[in-house]
Amino acid sequence: MNAKNRDLESQEQHHQEQVEEELCVHIFTVSAGLVGVCLTVLSLFRVIFRLSKVHEISDSLIAFDALGFLAACVFAYLGLRARNKSRRRVLQLFADVAFLTSLSFMVVVGCLIAYEFI
């Protein structure tokens, strides 16, 4: 019975590691795409809008977003490459925090852009 419990725990642990790795892959791919989105929006602001206070704030936040998504992308990549389990978890945590922070700022920027159009 003891060996059976160890096998079950080992399978659960392996499954958990697979889930964490898949999440890391998703953060990596989505972050890379969102860096491009941020840079595109930043370029469009320069071409379309006149300078205003809201635009300058939105501009800065979008640039910060791009850096945040880039950081999430780098941490996720490093997490995927890490062989040490504890280092991988720390890098995945950094990737999660950078991704969610940048995503939150993206919502703020969306509200500022909506405010500018109203």
pLDDT value at residue 22: 83
Percent of the chain with pLDDT over 70: 82
Give the model confidence (pLDDT) of 33-75 as tens digits.
Answer: 888 888 777 777 666 665 555 567 777 778 888 899 899 999 9
pLDDT value at residue 39: 76
Amino acid at 7: D
Question: Rounded to two decimals, what is the model's pTM?
Answer: 0.69
pLDDT value at residue 23: 81
Contacts of 79 (CB under 8 A, 6+ apart): 24, 88, 91, 92, 95
- Which ranges of the chain does DSSP label H, i.e. alpha helix? 2-48, 53-81, 85-117
Residue 4 predicted with pLDDT over 90: no
